[in-house]
Amino acid sequence: MFAVAALAVLALDLASKSWVFDLLRVRGEGVPPRIVAQQVRTVIPRLFELEATYNYGAVAGSLSGHGGWLTVISVAALALLAGALIRNLRRGPGPELGVSVALGLLVGGIAGNLHDRVAYGAVRDWIKWFVVVRGHPCVWPNFNIADAAICVAVGLLLLREIVKGRIERRVA
């Protein structure tokens, strides 16, 4: 399940980025690239649009200008996750299904964004959620399938630990 989740996220992330950037007729220039033209698509008015952006940093553009370090961190994270998985498999039965899926989502998401950092010098984002309050849009930073998979994975792992802690307290 780990491999299935990781490969599914990676494939869906890369395919969706290519498809959306083509759909929006994104025209970019430079290295790293910057968007000079696109056709933003409204999916749900006043809530959800397809809008291409390049993220040169991490969360919401933080650490912009440090793409090299973010690439190194991504490679290190993938190596640590692979090592942890191999160590757990050698000890006996693999991790429980939920942990395997969560780790697969995490690896697939990291790999999808790492691909973009290496290939483009920036991560391609295209999902734009926002709400309009008193005529002013409150916009969540654009993201992609890889980002969503990473967030879901972290949420699943945190939820597992919370539930596990409650069960251990009841037993004790």
Active site residues: 125, 147
Which residue's entry shows tokens 């291409």? 52
Instruction: Indicate the DSSP class of residue 60.
Output: G
CA atoms within 13 A on the CB side of 170: 6
Distance CA 131, CA 36 (A): 25
Q: Residue 26 in contact with residue 122, Cβ under 8 Å?
A: no
Instruction: Let me know if 56 is exposed, middle or buried by CB neighbors in 10 A (0-12, 13-18, 19+).
Output: buried
* DSSP-assigned letters across all residues of 37-59: E---EEEETTTEEEEEEEESSSG
Burial code (b: 16+ CB inside 10 Å, e: under 16) for 111-124 equals bbbbbbbeebbbbb
